[in-house]
Structure 1
Amino acid sequence: MRSQRRLLATLAATTAALIIGSTSTAAARPEPPAQVAPFGADFLWGVASSGYQSEGHVPDSNWSRYVAAGKTPDPYGDSIDFFTRYRSDIELAAQLGVRVYRIGIEWARVQPKPGEWDEGGLRFYDSVIDAITAAGMRPMLTLDHWVYPGWEVDRGGWRNPGIVDDWLANARKVVDRYAQHDPLWVTFNEPTVYIANELRKGGLSPIDVPAMHDRIAQAHNSIYDHIHAVQPGAMVTSNVAYLPGGEDLINKPLIDKISARLDYIGIDYYYGLTPDSLLTTPPDVEKLWTQPLHPEGIYYALEHYSRQFPGKPLYIVENGMPTENGAPRAEGYTRADNLRDTVYWLQRAKTDGVNLIGYNYWSLTDNYEWGSYSPRFGLYTVDALTDPTLTRKPTDAVPAYTAITRAGGVSPDYRPTRAPQPCSLVDAATSCLDPLTVPR
């Protein structure tokens, strides 16, 4: 609780300083358009997943050890067993009409020992990527989604200066093998949250945070150069978890270290923040899925990075709606309505000049959300704890997303089911002093 109070105090102080200290904002917003244009045929609709969260049959890793040590509320089991069901899951994605399927290449699966790579593990990913491309989709490959091998844990994890060389040896092996498929690349998933999770689970001490920060930046910059040597014209990013009220304070220091080696800006956006919600439902790092959903915040997040990186392509690498154990949300928001409302704001951003090139829904199926099966984000819900068949059950967002991909978005005259917040702190002070509106 003490760390949560410090987080809230920091957010509140930062937000207040930004709003009170602001004497001017960007140019006033134009009147909202009566209609929003659909995205073109080149827009990359996608779905996202990670290796550890969905594969099951996991090898020894930092996270398998966290689970074994009782540091998570739920046991892992075999998650939703993507390892044996990947072909049918990929077919479900193809039926949605998406063009991108994001997966992670698990370091622990392909390199079980120092200096030794497992051909069986690599062949698994060969088959997954072949299935993705055969289904007419482009792979988006994540090199590090918060998981590293048990032998690297024994060497000290990110406290070990040698981890950069170890990480790069594996990453180069993966890049050399899969660059031929012209994937989109994500080097590190949400690196700031990666650091925070290692702190929370005991893989890192506070004194080691600056070193991990620097080592992630060094590894990203090095593998970026290697990717471009092997795959000319590659698109590489390290996606950020957008943090309303404190984005620049928390994420910008690392982004600044890798900004020269980002071909597109990958953004993950989930939750909003307002003065009221900060007081009534303060962020709980253990239960973020209970936070208010403000889909218009995705516009502010895009606007923020459009200002920071003028003209650079932006891609929503993750976005979705959580429910608790599949129960309806208290505010009555359905997954389909939240998706359509979100896509409306994506189209508004594009209409207003944001260079948005793609959007991934997180996630195709429910999965293991880093210690718990309670938060469910899937287009297809899966009850991993009580359903031994792990049946994929479609939610109302499946037909909604299918219609969106076919039409290039929501209809031009669509209106969101939820009005935008009058004072959003997602991109304070701009989003509070010059809020978005919807035409009548």
Structure 2
Amino acid sequence: MLRRSLAVVLVVVLTVLAWQPAQAAAWSRAFYWGVATAGYQSEGSAPDSNWSRYVARSGEVDPYGNAVDFRHRYAEDIQLAAGMGVNTFRFSVEWARVQPRPGVWDEQELAYYDDVVRHIRDAGMTPMITLNHWVYPGWVADRGGFADPRTVGDFLAFTEKVVQRYRNVLWVTFNEPVAFLSQELKIGALNPLQIPLWQADVVLAHRRAYDLIHRLDPGAKVTSNQAFYAGFNPLTDLVVMDQIRDKLDFVGLDYYYGVSLDNLTALNAISGDLWKIKLQPEGIYDALRYYANRYPNLPLYIVENGMPTDNAQPREDGYTRETALRDSIFWVQRAKADGINVIGYNYWSITDNYEWGSYRPRFGLYTVDALTDPSLTRRPTAAVPAYRDVIANGGVPEGYRLGQAPATCSLVDFPLSCLAPPNPSGPLAHLG
């Protein structure tokens, strides 16, 4: 009896030991260095969707034109990313493009995305694919979007159609669901009374999509990235993230702006003057620490981070894209050194693009004058060699001097960010 019990214990121990390396190996990169883009914002040739309809009827937005024509220039943009040493490329599959009508799948457009993925893999990069970056087909809009429960089943059919074509992908189901909600209200696709219906359907759609993705590809990694609203995430997380925390393989986090006692410029986001916001790159540490405490068993990934300028003009505060990039990576390294399990960083974005009604805010590593340059030439900013150097060296070096000092009493994750601010003199982790 004792011998049999010992044998059972030995089998269990050996099974656990054998299982652990397999789980660790499921993350294919020591660190994911990425760039990001999104379908409607960059592709051009826009099909009928909630957003193409809004732009067509609104007199207060820039004409969409052909965006930056990623639809026909994806090979070029993917090579630009590869030239920086990037190992991860995030893009979205446009549901409106591949399913123009109920039950109708456009095989030519599906083949287009097949070729995008092939180019990404041929360049040695991991695809990160977003299934919903705020855009859905016009026929779904006619039904009421995600406030109609039928959309859950339609979205799952779309998810299955896409996921069954690709393996070993990092998946994002919904991009910034709370921001998605606010955009739906802004463009009139949703009224406030429908918010509870929308919330229930988006939560259900993610939960079922998570299970579906893992059934089709057990090795896949799935998230729904959350925008970080300095000081408000304990509330915004209640809307979706807390409802899906058991259906996440990692926490995707988008961090752009901070708030502090000496910096309330984030109020410029209300008017859309994003370039007037004074950045707080140290807040990326606070945001990572916040989610490490809120969801302690999940790895963290900065899915979006970047800096806006006004039509590619120098910022009034003199802060440059390359310095902001290095400063942000510095704070990611500090977080890693302090034991926070951060596994990746994506820069938003690979090129300038259509920022939901305007080409004026420029976030691109490569700038593109979409309204004035018919050739849509990609012109590198000084952040391109900076990012290449950062990736090659696994971060900024020890002894790096910050281009911008931390703010006074950060309110990014109040009160912790004010009472226990990150230490700029601490060690830096090598990010791989």
- Using structure 2 for the length normalisation, give the TM-score: 0.90
SS at match of 1:317: strand
1:117 corresponds, among 94, 100, 105, to 105
Q: Report the residue type matching 1:156 in the other structure.
A: G
**1:356 alignment partner in structure 2:** 342
Q: Distance in 2 between matches of 1:292 and 1:279?
A: 6
Q: How far off is 1:275 after superposition?
A: 2.7
Q: Distance in 1 between matches of 2:181 and 2:425?
A: 42
Q: How far off is 1:206 after superposition?
A: 0.2
Deviates further, 287-296 or 94-103: 287-296
SS at match of 1:294: coil
Q: Distance in 2 between matches of 1:285 and 1:309?
A: 33
**1:331 alignment partner in structure 2:** 317
Q: How far off is 1:290 after superposition?
A: 2.6
Q: Report the residue type matching 1:171 in the other structure.
A: T
2:361 corresponds, among 372, 375, 385, to 375
**1:43 alignment partner in structure 2:** 31
Q: Distance in 2 between matches of 1:50 and 1:241?
A: 15
**2:219 alignment partner in structure 1:** 233
SS at match of 1:277: coil
Q: Report the residue type matching 2:415 in the other structure.
A: A
1:58 corresponds, among 42, 46, 51, to 46
Q: Which consecutive aligned stretches of 4+ in structure 1 deviate over 6 angstroms post-superposition?
A: none
**1:259 alignment partner in structure 2:** 245
**2:260 alignment partner in structure 1:** 274
**1:406 alignment partner in structure 2:** 392
1:166 corresponds, among 122, 147, 154, to 154
2:329 corresponds, among 339, 343, 353, to 343
SS at match of 2:262: helix
Q: Report the residue type matching 1:198 in the other structure.
A: E
Is the 1:67–1:76 Cα contact (8 Å) retained in structure 2? Answer: yes
Give the aligned CA root-mean-square deviation in angstroms: 1.5
**2:25 alignment partner in structure 1:** none
**2:376 alignment partner in structure 1:** 390
Residues paired across the two proteins, number: 399
Give yes or no for the alignment of 1:318 onto 2:304: yes
Q: Report the residue type matching 2:99 in the other structure.
A: Q
Q: Report the residue type matching 2:341 in the other structure.
A: N
Is the 2:327–2:403 Cα contact (8 Å) retained in structure 1? Answer: yes
Q: How far off is 1:84 after superposition?
A: 0.7
**1:300 alignment partner in structure 2:** 286
Q: How far off is 1:310 after superposition?
A: 1.3
Q: Distance in 2 between matches of 1:417 and 1:327?
A: 19
Q: Deviations over 1:182-209 (max 9, x none)?
A: 1100000000000000001100000001
Is the 1:320–1:339 Cα contact (8 Å) retained in structure 2? Answer: yes
1:206 corresponds, among 173, 192, 204, to 192
**2:85 alignment partner in structure 1:** 97
Q: How far off is 1:167 after superposition?
A: 1.1
Q: Distance in 2 between matches of 1:109 and 1:285?
A: 31
Q: How far off is 1:263 after superposition?
A: 0.3
Question: Larger Rg: 1 or 2?
Answer: 2
SS at match of 2:263: helix
Is the 1:90–1:132 Cα contact (8 Å) retained in structure 2? Answer: yes
Q: Report the residue type matching 1:353 in the other structure.
A: G
**1:197 alignment partner in structure 2:** 183
Q: How far off is 1:72 after superposition?
A: 4.4
Q: How far off is 1:330 after superposition?
A: 1.1
Unaligned residue ranges in structure 2 (runs of 5+): 1-27, 427-432
**1:25 alignment partner in structure 2:** none
**1:9 alignment partner in structure 2:** none
**Greater relative contact order structure (CA < 8 Å, 6+ sep):** 1
Q: Deviations over 1:210-239 (max 9, x none)?
A: 111111100000010011111112110000
Equivalence map 1:125-164=2 (5 Å) = 125-164=113-152
Is the 1:72–1:372 Cα contact (8 Å) retained in structure 2? Answer: no
SS at match of 2:249: coil
Q: Distance in 2 between matches of 1:81 and 1:58?
A: 10
Is the 1:273–1:292 Cα contact (8 Å) retained in structure 2? Answer: no
Q: Report the residue type matching 2:85 in the other structure.
A: G
Q: Distance in 2 between matches of 1:434 and 1:389?
A: 50
Q: How far off is 1:42 after superposition?
A: 1.1
SS at match of 1:286: coil
Q: Distance in 1 between matches of 2:415 and 2:396?
A: 29
Identical aligned pairs, as a percentage? 55
Q: Deviations over 1:82-112 (max 9, x none)?
A: 0111111110000000110001000000000
Q: Distance in 2 between matches of 1:331 and 1:411?
A: 25
Q: How far off is 1:276 after superposition?
A: 3.4
Is the 1:56–1:83 Cα contact (8 Å) retained in structure 2? Answer: yes
**CA 1:85–1:100 in structure 2 vs 1: closer, same or farther (change >3 Å)?**
same
**CA 1:403–1:118 in structure 2 vs 1: closer, same or farther (change >3 Å)?**
same
**1:84 alignment partner in structure 2:** 72
Is the 1:311–1:355 Cα contact (8 Å) retained in structure 2? Answer: no
Q: How far off is 1:280 after superposition?
A: 8.9
Q: How far off is 1:256 after superposition?
A: 1.3
Q: How far off is 1:285 after superposition?
A: 5.3
**1:8 alignment partner in structure 2:** none
Q: Report the residue type matching 2:289 in the other structure.
A: E
**2:273 alignment partner in structure 1:** 287
**CA 1:341–1:85 in structure 2 vs 1: closer, same or farther (change >3 Å)?**
same
